[in-house]
Amino acid sequence: MESTAPQSPAGLRTTPSWLLSQAASHAARLLSEGFAAHGLRGYHYRLLAALAEDGPASQADLGRRCAIDRSDVVAAINDLAGRGLVVRAPDPADRRRNVISVTDAGAAEAHRMAETVDRAQQDLLAPLSTRERDQLTRLLTRLLEHHSRD
């Protein structure tokens, strides 16, 4: 039986940039679906994980660290605070800014979401051996490090 799915031109299907973008689309879908089961999104996970790993931070520092726009950080923190996953308090050193801390419930949610990330990785990388997964991670890391210098 012949596939009726649209096919990209062969010359495109063999380019690393096209392959990376297609794999990234699948990864984003898997993560989005997994996070939706928590009622949250990727930027919520990034913020919770950063706070759980590195401790309290200002909204501005969180935004920079997680590569999230300032206005999106505020909206995401409002969501997380409304769910009791983070608390916002004035910075004792500078009352003009807020310090965000993860609550116990937020740390537990970050852990559950990390398990969701692990499941998405397993699904995405299912056809690869452990050795191939490690090699892919090393190669992608090298590419990103090279291009982040710009």
3-state secondary structure of 58: strand
User: What is the total count of domains within the chain?
Assistant: 1
Asked if the structure places residue 61 within a domain, the reply is yes
Asked if the structure places residue 19 within a domain, the reply is no
| pTM score of the predicted model | 0.83
Asked if the structure places residue 1 within a domain, the reply is no
Asked if the structure places residue 22 within a domain, the reply is no
Asked if the structure places residue 133 within a domain, the reply is yes
Asked if the structure places residue 18 within a domain, the reply is no
Q: Indicate the pLDDT class of residue 50, thresholds 50, 70 and 90.
A: very high
Q: What is the pLDDT of residues 96-125, one digit of tens each?
A: 888 999 999 999 999 999 999 999 999 999
What tokens were used for 11? 């010359």
| CATH number of 115's domain | 1.10.10.10
Q: What is the pLDDT of residues 66-88, one digit of tens each?
A: 999 988 999 999 999 999 999 99
Asked if the structure places residue 130 within a domain, the reply is yes
Q: Which domain does 37 fall in, by range?
A: 32-148
- Non-local (6+) Cβ contacts of 83 within 8 A are 105
Nearest to 107 by CA among 140, 132, 76, 84: 84
